Structure 1
């Protein structure tokens, strides 16, 4: 009998361990897989250059935050250019935030007399595989403009970053089977997938149909609700996992639309992180100062908070750390990243927001951050 009990205990522990590995999408929980990581091996030169620049800059007096404040925010170079946003104050969330005219999205298929203005900018960089629309959370008076932009700019995916604390109006039906008319656009929520693991967004499948049009479009809306303004998620993996959800959508060919309350810092963090991932892992050297200046020249005051720039670098290095640990490669770089993360956690730790535990009754596989 005692042998049977011991055997049952061992079996229970084994099942418990197996269950944890099967249900967890966290790469740190995955079994070690020593060997060559094809992604890291292919992009090693650019990955190391990008990582070393971040680590070296952070090691200087004042760290990354001080460098960004002096070299970017205090720079005499201005991203402000011709803007007509002052003429459309009722459509702007922030009265003092101009919308750069040369990159502004122009609304299409308007009735006679309607203006093409919307506070949104097309953002792109050389060598990048993706383009972005950086915009504000729509006002109630601009819901129709927002859906018009999504439909006619061929947006396939929206990343929506807003929390309950932001106190923003909901511009889409957030329950499966619910629908509504937003001006001349019928918007139907066909499906909602709740996260079953940490650091993943709620995934909405949204159908959009303009008035008088017979063909609707289906888009994906990824909503992460635990990143309030001027704060940060407790783990940088929310950025990685959300972007992985976008990349797993093979039909994506239009710009990726990202918005937060005003379309500056949380949006900028997603864009900069994605660009660093994209270029470095394709072994394309990344000039971070030049890239940031280019982004800010297309969306006025993008990444205006120095700590959001720091967090973007944190996101990139944390992903590199995960792959180094998982595949047991680049131990020298892993050590430096671990030391970097200790420093950064001290700097932004008090500003981090925890998310509630995910639901456990949904067995659908969520987006991972591994290939």
Structure 2
């Protein structure tokens, strides 16, 4: 059914609003509009007079800038004061925060007052190498750099997917030390098989951190291990080593290389950060305290618990074992445990013969630990005094020609 439109009202109807109203009706409506009906009390509208309007205009012309109310200004002031108080509290909190290793450090500092470092190291040197545990090492003598640095068969690192499964490397297990660490000998650079085996281990173990401790004259041809410039690559027996990033340091800090490892025919690569420590001479301590401390802290932090950290040095048991020892010391202090350096070194040497292979290296473990403690508790005068006394006495243990005592520069 169609809807019919309604007819429009004629303009002449009585309901037309434009129709002139009678005077009496208009007066009545005006009164109602002003006073309102009795049932609804509407407030009367006030209209400003001409005089007041002109006065307001004059005031507004002179007061162009708006002013903040007192309440707003007070709130902003209180907010600033609150933030300042919070900052002060944070500073005080940091001052009051006690290093987790402070108590253990105090015990360590007290114990070294009576320690005889030479006797301690001589006891370590008496540890014999068990030749019957080195048969595989003996069978691969062509792969070993030094006949005096053996590795045991039962805890050796095994190479996967290679012609030979041998590499001069050891898996180290330190009680209550979570990070998994391998101590490796640097491969013979002139042998492509040895270079491939080295990188195969890192690829197969998904290793993300590699520390190499060797002077430039020891490395001889580092480009035979990996390209030294970004964008360069090395091809070793079907194994690609691509250098993606290079950060060389002018100071004693470690140079950083990021390499991508990719076996031929494999689609998934492994990225590894390679830290090259060139300022650490054989049979001696590093030239600076901070770089080995930083490296040891990184190892102890154990950011990648599912993959090992590899520490390699020329012979595979001296400086790299010293760096591992330092990482264990840092870990124990952080846990509030007094580090027994002799016990730590003995534990590592039981698994890797000749670990920490010189007295200057052993002495440097104490000096570096002292440097760490000194920086952590600067306000403890008693500890500072004892550390200074020990360091002065320790400087006379070895001739300057054998060991250059590290500076305290960062």
Name 1:87's counterpart in structure 2.
Answer: 139
Task: Tell me if structure 1 keeps the 8 A contact 2:196–2:236.
Answer: yes
2 CA distance for matches of 1:313 and 1:67?
Answer: 12
Name 1:184's counterpart in structure 2.
Answer: 238
Structure 1 residue 85, shift from structure 2 partner: 0.9
Name 1:358's counterpart in structure 2.
Answer: none
Task: Tell me if structure 1 keeps the 8 A contact 2:322–2:365.
Answer: yes
Is the aligned partner of 1:319 residue 2:372? yes
Task: Provide Cα deviations, 1:246-268, integer angstroms capped at 9, x if missing partner.
Answer: 56784464211111110122112
Task: Tell me if structure 2 keeps the 8 A contact 1:121–1:134.
Answer: yes
2 CA distance for matches of 1:80 and 1:312?
Answer: 28
In structure 2, the gaps of 5 or more residues are 1-92
1:209-228 to 2 correspondences below 5 Å: 209-228=262-281
Task: Tell me if structure 2 keeps the 8 A contact 1:200–1:241.
Answer: no
Structure 1 residue 353, shift from structure 2 partner: 5.7
1:49-64 to 2 correspondences below 5 Å: 49-57=107-115, 63-64=116-117
Structure 1 residue 121, shift from structure 2 partner: 0.1
Structure 1 residue 186, shift from structure 2 partner: 0.6
Name 2:106's counterpart in structure 1.
Answer: 48
Structure 1 residue 106, shift from structure 2 partner: 0.8
- Residues 346/280 of structure 1: CA separation in 2 closer, same or farther (3 Å cut): same
Task: Tell me if structure 2 keeps the 8 A contact 1:200–1:242.
Answer: no
Structure 1 residue 97, shift from structure 2 partner: 2.6
1 CA distance for matches of 2:221 and 2:247?
Answer: 21
Name 2:9's counterpart in structure 1.
Answer: none
Structure 1 residue 346, shift from structure 2 partner: 4.0
1:174-323 to 2 correspondences below 5 Å: 174-195=228-249, 198-244=251-297, 250-251=303-304, 253-323=306-376
Is the aligned partner of 1:129 residue 2:178? yes
- Structure label with greater radius of gyration: 2
Task: Provide Cα deviations, 1:229-279, integer angstroms capped at 9, x if missing partner.
Answer: 233333222211233455678446421111111012211210111100011
SS at match of 1:259: strand
Structure 1 residue 64, shift from structure 2 partner: 0.8
* RMSD value, Cα: 2.8
1 CA distance for matches of 2:272 and 2:156?
Answer: 22
- The TM-score, its normalising length taken from structure 2, stands at 0.69
Structure 1 residue 47, shift from structure 2 partner: 2.4
1 CA distance for matches of 2:262 and 2:245?
Answer: 16
Is the aligned partner of 1:68 residue 2:116? no
Structure 1 residue 81, shift from structure 2 partner: 5.0
Higher RCO (CA 8 Å, separation ≥ 6 residues): 1
1:19-168 to 2 correspondences below 5 Å: 35-38=95-98, 40=99, 42-57=100-115, 63-69=116-122, 71-75=123-127, 78=129, 82-83=133-134, 84-110=136-162, 114-140=163-189, 141=191, 142-168=194-220
- The TM-score, its normalising length taken from structure 1, stands at 0.76
In structure 1, the gaps of 5 or more residues are 1-32, 58-62, 356-367
Structure 1 residue 91, shift from structure 2 partner: 0.7
1 CA distance for matches of 2:101 and 2:205?
Answer: 32
